[in-house]
Amino acid sequence: MRTFALRRSAALLGLHRAGVELKTFFRERDAVVFTLSLPIVVFVLLGAMFDGVYPGSDVTTAQYLAPSMIAAGVASTTFVNLGTGIAADRDDGTLKRLRGMPMPPSAYFLGKAVTALLITVVEAGLLLVIGVVGFDLTVPTDPARWLTFGWVFLLGVTACSLLGIAVSSLAGSARSAAAVTNLPYLVLAFISGIYFTPVGQLPGPLVTAGSLFPLKWMAQGFRSVFLPDTILAQEVVPSWEHGRIALVLAAWCIGGLVLCLTTFRWRGRRDR
Amino acid sequence: MTENPAVRVRGLRKAYGPVTALTDLDLDVATGEVLALLGPNGAGKTSAVEILAGHRDRDGGTVSVLGRDPGHAGLDWRAEIGIVPQHCADLGELTVRESVRHFARYFPRPRDPDEAIELVGLTGKAGARVRTLSGGQRRRLDVAIGVVGRPRLLFLDEPTTGFDPQARRRFWGLIRSLAGRDGTTVLLTTHHLEEAEELADRIVVIAAGRVVAEGEPATLAGRASRTLVRWADGAQNTDDPAALVAELTRRYGGPVPGLTVTRPSLEDVYLDLIGDHS
């Protein structure tokens, strides 16, 4: 009976964990500011550095950059943040203490996921506002486009969060976790057509490599929401490929889940 | 005390690569007992406690904690156990009260969080961020979290490290009341011999991964029968100092010059015990 009651409370405990995680995150002012501002600063810098309009359309470089940076922001607040955050939890005794509690493991992950989702919504919102105010990004009125935004966002957040949880086990310590998560993040940001635009101009092998990972597809999905079809000539193929985006992101959700289940460590390397 | 021990360990073995932490450790803790595990650094105390608490895998031996194998026990087993681990640096941005309240939610019938905070004497710091606490206050918070779920069995791994004398006295009172009034079984590791003597019903000394002595604090390792009587012209170990002093008094026909009677302190006994192993 009691086991049943404890299992039933996993969802409730997960929400309490999310409350504690969010409090912890937002009370660390410097971490909040710098975590949220990294994609924003990159966006503003790149947006200000390059100007011009892509041939065959009236889309400016900065407008092209905006939806791509939202994808990079999602990857940053999920993959990078969860990867470093969980490695820190492993180092500072959080995971050890939780393992000693009558807590279903799912409550911990639910707490992390809800926290990552909320922080990502804030990040995406900030990038969107800066795009609209600073770089003439047009917000679509067509509900179909917002529906696209919704599913790309949810699949992207899920896939990148699961990969972040998985990558946390690769890091030997909290100190190495930032390096372990930032290297793939930065490399993918370059080869997914985010820091380097437009994606169609990337060398073939890099496009192929980038296409293996979720970031390229998330960015493409967000561009399809905010940019007119006249920009399609600058994509790798002249189509938004919604079916393929859904397929690749869903595949990474499954792959990420498998990686989490097979590699996740509650204990640090020294605690075997 | 009942016939069912809270903890029963037989032949426990654990190695970290080439380093052996525990070799063939046997340990029993009776229900309601306060047992102190003593031993020098690296003796295997923390390894033993972490295996019993289900935090570490063992290489061999049988372990039963509250009737279950901690390697395969579920959440209902966890709800009966309180753990105060070493080296926790989590919760920094939460306040003391938020932390204890949060962990109270995990248990089916928790103590009132404010009462747990009061028990460890942190009421004045209840609203303070955990990262602003001193080392001793931080340990007291760990203890509050360890007891908030009303555990039947409490593991304390060097719980009073960094406590000031007043906090330590207060902590001893807390453990006595948990053991006495609530019938909580307590397994604690410590380096403070005074603490072990003060709190424990029984002491187990381990060195180099195995038990080298066990017994009640007053009689550990023949302590009671090793009273040293010294006088001006000699010295003798005896288990009946009164008889020896009476005999000496007769011999001198009055006061014995330079008479001292000393029982070895727990520390003397302990240092003798581990002297061969460290």
Residue predicted with more confidence, B63 or B255: B63
Between helix A174-191 and helix A214-226 the angle, nearest 10°, is: 50
Q: How far apart are the first and last CA of chain B?
A: 34
Q: Tell whether A175 lies on the interface with B, counting CB pairs under 8 A.
A: no
Say which residues have a Cβ less than 8 Å from residue A47's Cβ, sequence separation at least 6: A61, A62, A65, A66, A134, A135
Residue of A nearest to B105 (CA): A13
B55 and B98 both lie in a single domain: no
At B186, which CATH number? 3.40.50.300
Structure tokens at B120: 């460890």
Among candidate residues B132, B53, B47, B136, the one with its CA nearest the CA of residue B94? B132
- The H-or-E segment that residue B9 falls in is strand B7-16
Q: Tell whether B68 lies on the interface with A, counting CB pairs under 8 A.
A: no
B76 and B155 both lie in a single domain: yes
B56 and B191 both lie in a single domain: yes
Give every strand in the sheet of B227-231, ordered side by side.
B234-238, B227-231, B260-262
Q: Return the exposure string of A108-120: e unless at least 16 CB atoms fall within 10 Å of the residue's CB, then b.
A: bbbbbbbbbbbbb
Q: Tell whether B245 is covered by a domain.
A: yes
| Residue A173 Cα distances to A65, A105, A113, A126, B47, angstroms | 34, 21, 21, 31, 21
**Closest CA–CA distance from residue A77 to any residue of chain B (Å):** 20
For chain A, the structural domain boundaries read 2-263
| pLDDT at B270 > cutoff 70 | yes
| Residue A193 Cα distances to A150, A196, A233, B159, B218, angstroms | 21, 5, 14, 54, 75
What pLDDT digit, counting tens, does each position of B80-100 carry? 999 988 878 888 889 999 999
> Of B127, B144, B161, at which residue does a domain stop?
B144
Residue of B nearest to A90 (CA): B90
Test A93 with B98 for CB contact under 8 angstroms: no
What pLDDT digit, counting tens, does each position of A61-82 carry? 888 889 999 999 999 999 999 9
User: What integer pLDDT is reported at residue A1 of this predicted model?
Assistant: 47
Q: Tell whether B85 is covered by a domain.
A: no
Of the candidates B78, B88, B90, the beta carbon closest to that of A102 is on B78
Residue of B nearest to A92 (CA): B89
Dihedrals φ, ψ of B236, to 5°?
A: -155, 140
B128 and B245 both lie in a single domain: no
Dihedrals φ, ψ of B20, to 5°?
A: -90, 125
- Give the three-class secondary structure for B207: strand
B71 and B11 both lie in a single domain: yes
What pLDDT digit, counting tens, does each position of A140-174 carry? 988 999 999 999 999 999 999 999 998 888 877 88
**Closest CA–CA distance from residue B159 to any residue of chain A (Å):** 15
CA–CA separation, B58 and B53 (whole Å): 11
Give the whole-number percent of chain A exceeding pLDDT 90.
Answer: 33
Chain A residue numbers touching B89 (CB-CB < 8 A) = 92-93
Of the candidates B56, B90, B149, the beta carbon closest to that of A92 is on B90
Among candidate residues B200, B180, B184, the one with its CA nearest the CA of residue B37? B200
> Of B144, B161, B189, at which residue does a domain stop?
B144
Is the Cβ–Cβ distance between A23 and B94 less than 8 Å?
yes
B72 and B184 both lie in a single domain: yes
Tell if the pTM clears 0.95, that is, is over it. Answer: no
Between helix A174-191 and helix A61-75 the angle, nearest 10°, is: 150
Q: Tell whether B2 is covered by a domain.
A: no
Residues facing A258 on adjacent strands: none
**Closest CA–CA distance from residue A162 to any residue of chain B (Å):** 23
User: What integer pLDDT is reported at residue A160 of this predicted model?
Assistant: 93
Q: Tell whether B19 lies on the interface with A, counting CB pairs under 8 A.
A: no
CA–CA separation, A156 and A215 (whole Å): 8
Test B76 with A2 for CB contact under 8 angstroms: yes
Of the candidates A13, A96, A267, the beta carbon closest to that of B105 is on A13
Residue B49 sits in which domain range?
A: 7-80+151-220
> Of B175, B192, B220, at which residue does a domain stop?
B220
Q: Mean pLDDT check: name the lowest of A171-175, A227-231, B78-82.
A: A171-175
What DSSP letter does each residue of B213-267 carry, written as one string? EEE-TTTGGGGGG-EEEEETTEEEEES-HHHHHHHHHHHHTSPPTT-EEEPPPHH
Dihedrals φ, ψ of A165, to 5°?
A: -60, -40
Q: Tell whether B169 is covered by a domain.
A: yes
Test B88 with A20 for CB contact under 8 angstroms: no
ipTM comes to 0.82
Test A99 with B54 for CB contact under 8 angstroms: yes
Residue predicted with more confidence, A81 or B237: A81
Q: Tell whether B72 lies on the interface with A, counting CB pairs under 8 A.
A: no
Test A102 with B56 for CB contact under 8 angstroms: no
Chain B residue numbers touching A272 (CB-CB < 8 A) = 16, 56-57
Burial status of residue A142 (CB atoms within 10 A of its CB: 0-12, 13-18, 19 or more): exposed
Structural domains of chain B, count = 3
With residues binned 3-state (H G I as helix, E B as strand, rest as coil), the percentages for chain B, rounded to 5, are 35, 25, 35
What pLDDT digit, counting tens, does each position of A249-263 carry? 999 999 988 888 888
CB–CB contacts below 8 A, A to B: 80
User: What integer pLDDT is reported at residue A55 of this predicted model?
Assistant: 79
B140 and B17 both lie in a single domain: no
